Amino acid sequence: MMALHKDNSFAGELLINEPLARYTTWRVGGPAERLYRPVNLDDLVMFIRQLPEGEDIFWLGLGSNLLVRDGGISGTVIATQGALNEIGNLDNGYVRVEAGVSCARVARFCRDHSLAGVEFLAGIPGTMGGALAMNAGAFGGETWRHVESVETIDHTGRLTERNASEYKIGYRSVRGPENEWFVAAHLRLDSSKKEKQDEIKQNIKALLEERGTRQPIGLPSCGSVFRNPDGYYAAELIEQSGLKGLCEGGACVSEKHANFIVNTGNATASDIESLINRVVNTVIEKQGVRLEKEVCIVGEPHLPGGDEQA
């Protein structure tokens, strides 16, 4: 077991062998060797400063766009949801958002302050930290189009503010300084529409209605599993390959949207990963296109000792 310094002053909750299925939107995943839930950013800094040198750290927000294998994650998982949860208006169209704030809450906050541009975040089931890490987008919008600067933390607990220009941004990809993680973002928004709050509300309403119509909302999923290849839509390639409804154990390709894999109630992470691989191989065979995963797959296939998680 990891030994923390005796003079620890962190105030959050440290859990040992904590099952991660309850923290992921797919509702699957083995245990975290250690999971820490900080109370705020200052507490997070204190906790990281007391970690042993070289400790593996994994960051967990709402657990969407994530598949944790049945063997779980070694090292320390830091759960930001409900912790890095501050959002504030910095005036002149700028908003500071901490990494644990849900994307939906960001959209609502900006709506309530008549700030336009991030209505699309209302349809993303994740946190700001995840949106920053992968340049999350939906309905034609992308996160980093609105990022002015970010705040990061490193293995030593050092906080740094960096300009957006220090990162290379692509479709669902973000590259920047290594061994740093996002803890907050400063967003630049359109504040010229203060008289058009109703218009922003209607945009969000329309996006959510479209999401409810097109996507399988009632069953656990991670969001879109695959990126859209250049010139194609992943969902169309999967559907044209006859894969809608294909199941592996309790995991099935959604009948409503083929780029979603749903947990019908008893899926394991192994079921889901196996189904992902079957979809990739079948689409290559039938369409000649290789699908790239958008979902992040982490952890060990089996629990220590070789046993499958029950």
Q: How many residues does the chain have?
A: 310
Q: Which amino acid does the sequence have at 119?
A: E
The answer to pTM > 0.85 is yes
Indicate the pairing of strand 94-98 with strand 137-138.
unpaired
Indicate the pairing of strand 251-253 with strand 247-248.
antiparallel
CATH (residue range 224-294): 3.90.78.10
- Secondary-structure breakdown of the chain: helix, strand, coil percentages, each rounded to the nearest 5: 30, 30, 45
Identical fold for domains 87-213 and 224-294, yes or no, is no
Question: Could you write out the DSSP letters of every residue in 227-243?
Answer: PPPTTS-HHHHHHHTT-
Helix or strand holding residue 92 (H, E): none
Rounded to 5 degrees, φ, ψ at 184 are: -165, 160
Domain 87-213 belongs to what topology? 3.30.465
Query: What's the burial of 172, exposed, middle or buried (CB within 10 Å: 0-12/13-18/19+)?
Result: middle
- pLDDT for 194: 56
Torsion angle, alpha carbons of 204, 239, 237, 277, to 10: 100
The overall longest dimension of the chain from CA atoms, in Å, is 62
- pLDDT for 216: 83
User: Is 3.30.43.10 the CATH number for 13-79?
Assistant: yes
Residues 6+ apart with CB under 8 A from 54: none
Q: From first to last of the 310 residues of the chain, give the pLDDT tens digit.
A: 454 543 456 899 999 999 999 999 999 999 999 999 999 999 999 999 999 988 999 999 999 999 999 999 999 999 998 899 999 987 888 999 999 999 999 999 998 888 988 999 988 889 999 999 999 988 888 999 999 999 999 999 999 999 999 999 998 899 999 899 999 999 999 877 655 677 787 888 887 777 767 778 789 999 899 999 999 999 999 999 999 999 999 999 999 999 999 999 999 999 999 999 999 999 999 999 999 999 999 999 887 665 444 3
Q: How far apart are CA 27 and CA 77, in angstroms?
A: 17
- pLDDT for 210: 73
Residues 6+ apart with CB under 8 A from 206: none
Catalytic residues: 172, 224, 294
Name the one residue in this structure whose structure tokens are 């990739």.
Answer: 280
Q: Quick one: which of 130, 182, 159 has its CA closest to 42? A: 159
Q: Which amino acid does the sequence have at 223?
A: G
pLDDT tens digits, one per residue of 89-145: 878 889 999 999 999 999 999 988 889 889 999 888 899 999 999 999 888 889 999
**What phi-psi label fits residue 24: left (phi over 0), alpha (psi between -120 and 50 degrees) or beta?**
beta
For residue 9, give the 3-state DSSP assignment: coil
Residues 6+ apart with CB under 8 A from 22: none
Task: Break the chain into its structural domains and give their ranges.
Answer: 13-79, 87-213, 224-294
Residues 6+ apart with CB under 8 A from 247: 253, 264, 275
Q: Across the strands, what pairs with 14?
A: 36
pLDDT tens digits, one per residue of 18-37: 999 999 999 999 999 999 99
